[in-house]
């Protein structure tokens, strides 16, 4: 997968896995990583699917309607890529915090839905329920920050709440953060994620 890796100055911190939204790339979320943990190593990944020239992490049939077989296959592809990247760059595979926005947050959630060992934790900005057809693994204590907009035209509030409930019921330590905004990522939401990171991860 096309990606960038930036080695941090503090090897004890988890690697931040940056997963962009539709039409983004591996550099999009670098400013978020700088706000969360400027000393951490960063792995920015570009989705392998193209939708009208816009990179995505998996196909969709319509807005909010995922191509589930492709989502499952791409989730396994990303998980295998993380195994290879950990070996190539010499970081601890068990210490990865995903930072995803929209489509990137959806595949980060799908990693958790499929494999409890895939991530140490996750920051999900404006995520949907990736799948309803599988039973979640035991996610005991895995910290998850969810940022959502009360007026998001793409993701109804009930959808965000359902994802949070599914993760929590599987044992994850979920913190929900609501912005009085739409689908865009706001500065205050990023600041809330940074405060969560400082409390839960560092």
Give the DSSP letter string of 104-165. Answer: HHHHHHHHHHH-TTS-SEEEEES-----SSSPPPP-TT-EEEEEEETT-SSS-HHHHHHHHH
CB 26 within 8 A of CB 44: yes
**Residue 133 annotated among the catalytic residues of the structure:** no
For residue 112, give both structure tokens.
Answer: 């958790």
Reply yes or no on whether 177 is catalytic.
no
Structure tokens at 188: 């205050």
Mark whether 152 is an active-site residue: yes
Name the active-site residue from 110, 125, 152, 160. 152
Catalytic residue among 41, 102, 110, 148: 102
Q: Which residues are catalytic?
A: 102, 152, 183
């Amino acid at each position: 997968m096309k990606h960038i890796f930036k080695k941090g100055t503090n090897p004890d911190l988890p690697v931040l896995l940056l997963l962009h939204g539709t039409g983004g790339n591996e550099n999009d979320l670098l400013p978020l990583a700088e706000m969360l943990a400027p000393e951490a190593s960063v792995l920015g990944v570009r989705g392998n699917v193209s939708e009208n020239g816009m990179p995505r992490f998996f196909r969709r049939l319509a807005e909010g309607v995922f191509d589930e077989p492709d989502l499952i296959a791409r989730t396994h592809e990303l998980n295998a890529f993380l195994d290879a990247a950990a070996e190539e760059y010499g970081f601890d595979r068990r210490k990865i915090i995903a930072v995803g926005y929209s489509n990137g947050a959806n595949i980060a959630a799908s990693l958790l839905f499929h494999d409890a060992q895939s991530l140490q934790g996750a920051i999900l900005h404006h995520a949907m329920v990736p799948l309803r057809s599988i039973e979640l693994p035991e996610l005991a204590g895995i910290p998850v920050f969810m940022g959502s907009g009360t007026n998001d035209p793409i993701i109804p509030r009930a959808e965000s709440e359902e994802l949070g409930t599914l993760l929590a019921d599987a044992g994850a330590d979920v913190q929900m953060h609501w912005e009085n905004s739409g689908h865009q990522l706001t500065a205050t939401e990023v600041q809330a994620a940074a405060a969560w990171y400082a409390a839960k991860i560092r």
